[in-house]
Structure 1
Amino acid sequence: MGLTEIQQRITAEEARVGRTLGSTRLIAVSKVQPLDRVVAVLDQGHRLFGENRVQEAAGKWPELRETYAGTEVHLLGPLQTNKVAQAFEVFDAIHALDRDKLARKIADQAQSSGFCPKLFVQINTGDEPQKAGVALGDTDSFVANCRAMDLPVEGLMCIPPVDEAPSLHFALLRKLAERNGLTGLSMGMSGDFEEAVALGATHVRVGSAIFGARVSP
């Protein structure tokens, strides 16, 4: 499909539903993609990327950022507490804040670093026992706890169950965000990003539709 087509489809969907054009940010998910594919997207002028692993991103992005000014990198995958300090060095935003222990670790690191990446709280909208994320019923209290620690929570993130209509989960996430006074909505991937745009996504996470099939490490 390619970067240009994805950007055009996002813009078309924003126009269709009456959203401000450009209000949806496209995160190009570059995890386990060969370097030449990543560079090709950078060369097209794109500057927002997503990675799933701290280690992989740390080995890739510092050097690329020296060449491509203005590049942002967001952490989309789970974050272990022992990788928080390194994550602060690499990422502009963390999209999978999902438990109290991690929130406390991030707060401690922010205190010692004097800054903090933007944060999205991952919500387990399907209440799936095998999936990470804050339980639906705990959303309000978790966000309140994060705010009490002065954490810069920008929004919420979800990954809908594979066997359910994603739009139901996107609508639910938007409702939860509005209830908590949050404006950021990280939702929608290669197969459903247009539905996410229609329901107010501020960030969509698209990988294979931009880069092609992932290459296993």
Structure 2
Amino acid sequence: MVTPSALVDRLAQVRAQIETAARHAHRDPNAVTLVAVSKFHPASSVQEALAAGQRVFGENRVQEAAAKFPALRAQYPDIRLHLIGGLQTNKAKDAVQLADMIESLDRPALADALAKAADSVGRMPDLLIEVNTGDEPQKFGVPKEQADAFIRTCRQRFGTSLKGLMCIPPATQDPTPHFQLLRSMAQTHGLPVLSMGMSADYPQAIAQGATLVRVGTAIFGARPATP
């Protein structure tokens, strides 16, 4: 695990790089929100980032988020939790209770489960549709050719709770065309939020209009062994 002082330094560096990338793209740095991806890292590391002013965090697993964030939220009520990993339908109710944003809506069955959970719980988090811009069979995300129809259906169903789109480009390809495709889709549908860019490519994503960048390793260091 990265030491607290190193974590704070890395967080400051990422923030500075976000500002630089935004200014190079002639964008307001305040239009880009950093999502600190704390998956597999302990609550103590999240606490260090919170103490340094970070408030938006991303987790892949509902179970891990449930173990960390309720206690942290009690201390920091303005914390925002994004669920960014593939979501199983049987975790929909827990996700709706925990998350401020779910970034991985990608299929009708999950839309059904989230709608049912929201009715039961009495709240609906903000939602992003994950698009599989590389049509990679091993990845989550709605396939490109189905994305427009799915976006239209979800806009009708969820209204203003549907905020935008998310993607994870293929690791072996230039991410820029994938970011451009996602931006084009968002513009077509009038969706304001673009979650794209991770530790290796977030400056490129900012250049293409990202409003959320999901950065983990560059802040928290190498992941511990997967639980």
Q: Same fold (TM over 0.5)?
A: yes
Q: Hey, what does 1:94 align to over in structure 2?
A: 102
Aligned match of 1:192 in 194, 201, 226?
201
> Please, which moves more after superposition, 131-140 or 195-204?
131-140
Counterpart residue identity of residue 163, structure 2 = E
- Given that 2:129 and 2:166 are in contact with CA atoms closer than 8 Å, whether structure 1 keeps it comes out as yes
Counterpart residue identity of residue 198, structure 2 = M
The alignment partner of 1:121 has SS state of strand
Q: Hey, what does 1:105 align to over in structure 2?
A: 113
* 1:207 counterpart = 2:224: no
Aligned residue pairs, count: 217
Counterpart residue identity of residue 107, structure 2 = R
* 1:154 counterpart = 2:153: no
Measured in 1, the distance between the counterparts of 2:49 and 2:69 equals 14
Q: Hey, what does 2:45 align to over in structure 1?
A: 37
Q: Hey, what does 1:176 align to over in structure 2?
A: 185
Q: Hey, what does 1:21 align to over in structure 2?
A: 29
Counterpart residue identity of residue 215, structure 2 = V
Measured in 1, the distance between the counterparts of 2:208 and 2:221 equals 26
What per-residue deviation string (whole Å, max 9, x for no partner) do you get for residues 71-129 of structure 1? 00100001111111111111100010010000011112222333210011000101112
Q: Hey, what does 1:126 align to over in structure 2?
A: 134
RMSD across aligned C-alpha pairs, in angstroms?
Answer: 1.1
Q: Hey, what does 2:4 align to over in structure 1?
A: none
Q: Hey, what does 2:5 align to over in structure 1?
A: none
- Given that 2:97 and 2:121 are in contact with CA atoms closer than 8 Å, whether structure 1 keeps it comes out as no
Q: Hey, what does 1:2 align to over in structure 2?
A: 10
The aligned runs of 1:75-90 (5 Å cut-off) are 75-90=83-98
Shift of 1:132: 1.3
* TM-score, normalisation: structure 1: 0.97
Measured in 1, the distance between the counterparts of 2:167 and 2:29 equals 23
The alignment partner of 2:153 has SS state of helix
What per-residue deviation string (whole Å, max 9, x for no partner) do you get for residues 14-52 of structure 1? 111111221000000000112322211111011000000
Deviating above 6 A after TM superposition, structure 1's stretches of 4 or more consecutive aligned residues are none
Shift of 1:162: 1.0
The alignment partner of 1:162 has SS state of coil
Measured in 2, the distance between the counterparts of 1:190 and 1:76 equals 15
Could you tell me the percent identity over the aligned residues?
47
Shift of 1:159: 0.4
* 1:142 counterpart = 2:150: yes
- Given that 1:34 and 1:215 are in contact with CA atoms closer than 8 Å, whether structure 2 keeps it comes out as no
Q: Hey, what does 1:167 align to over in structure 2?
A: 176
Point out where structure 2 has 5 or more consecutive residues left out of the alignment: 1-8
Measured in 2, the distance between the counterparts of 1:20 and 1:43 equals 25
Shift of 1:149: 1.7
* TM-score, normalisation: structure 2: 0.93
Point out where structure 1 has 5 or more consecutive residues left out of the alignment: none
Counterpart residue identity of residue 126, structure 1 = G
- Given that 2:102 and 2:125 are in contact with CA atoms closer than 8 Å, whether structure 1 keeps it comes out as yes
